[in-house]
Chains A and B, each alone.
Chain A
Amino acid sequence: MNEYTYPILFGVIFGLLTRLYMLRTDYRQYPTYLHGKIIHVALGFIAAGLGTVAVPSIMEQEFTAITFLTLAASQFREVRNMERNTLTELDQYELVTRGNTYIEGIAVAFESRNYLVIFTSFVATFAYLVWNIWAGILAGIIALLISKKLMAGGRLKDIVDIEFVEPRFEGAGLYVDNIYIMNIGLPARQKEILKYGMGFVLKPKNFNVRSTIANLGQRQAILHDVSTALGVYRDSGTPALVPLAKRDLDDGRVGIFVLPQEKDVEKAIAIIGQVPTLENAIRMPTESKANKKGRRLE
């Protein structure tokens, strides 16, 4: 036991609590119970330890000790690889795949959460050592709130208007509103699709959003989330029953066609609204220099 024992213990516990707070198993059932969680809690513990011991080492003027944080960086890059590999492997057995963009988003989130844990532990331990335990708790909570703010991404409902449209057939062509989805020949299959299918139109709220929802990964994420939350009328060997999202080339609207097991319009709209805007899909064409002068793109 020495003067640093309690601060270090405090920092590690605070970091671990942060990781637990950011670790949610929700409708995506990811991370899985129980082993998936254990992996992330264990890595969170390591991250908390690294963030915490950085403070005493600086105070003892052991500046070279800070270099082990680089170890942390490479360690948590591994976390990203691990998440990516696991999810990509599993994706081929999903009835409606997540898509690589979504997977990459999840992997990045898992990596960055560990850095947020390091940050929280560091701040909490620092405040404890400089002032007292109460200052440590306060600093930790503030860091936790900042982490939460940094972690929360945008939702689809912030950038698009979602409207329910009954899908229809024109000849063999399946349409959602005026957006062509696919060609289904067999009348029996058409009946199934009209019985179970639901159509939605996502209307972009501005010019930037057009490019964001045009991203194939973003569209696949929507299909995956809806199919996860409402079930999917599909099986292997029925390629005709496939949820699809197509784009209206004229105005950038996206037509979503899904085959949920539970046909509930309000729930479906809520679920689509909750789909995260994938950070890899976000585009900001209006931020380009060319767009700063002259006619503005809306």
Chain B
Amino acid sequence: MNLEKYILAVITTNPSKVSGNTAIFTCETKEEMEYVAGNLEAILDGIAHGLGDDLYVIVKH
């Protein structure tokens, strides 16, 4: 099977919103979350999509 899109990581300041067996990064502040998401975007060649103020997902397209 060839997956076209896949969630590589989840970055959040509100860990109660996410669970499951993907990489979840919990951050203290919004700035930290943006910093982590920006770095992960570059590292993973994915796009950081925003699903609200406290939740980013890195998706491989």
Binding site for B on A (CB under 8 A): 171-172, 182-189, 237, 239-240
Contact = CB atoms under 8 A, between A and B. Distances in A.
Nearest to B60: A239
Nearest to B49: A183
Chain A binding surface SS class: loop
Contacts of B34: 186-188
A185 B46 CA distance: 12
A35 to B, nearest CB: 34
Among B34, B49, B57, the one with the most A-chain Cβ atoms within 10 Å of its Cβ is B49
Contact of A185 (B42, B45, B49, B61): B49
Chain B binding surface SS class: mixed
B15 interface: no
B46 A172 contact: no
A185 B33 CA distance: 11
The list of the 8 closest CB pairs from A to B, nearest first, reads A185-B50, A172-B50, A185-B48, A183-B49, A240-B47, A185-B56, A186-B48, A185-B49
Nearest to A186: B48
Interface residues of B, number: 15
23 contacts: A171-B50, A172-B49, A172-B50, A172-B51, A183-B47, A183-B49, A184-B47, A184-B48, A185-B48, A185-B50, A185-B51, A185-B57, A186-B34, A186-B37, A186-B38, A187-B34, A188-B38, A189-B48, A237-B45, A239-B47, A239-B61, A240-B47, A240-B48
Contacts of A185: 37, 47-51, 56-57
Nearest to B30: A187
Contacts of B45: 237, 239
B49 to A, nearest CB: 4
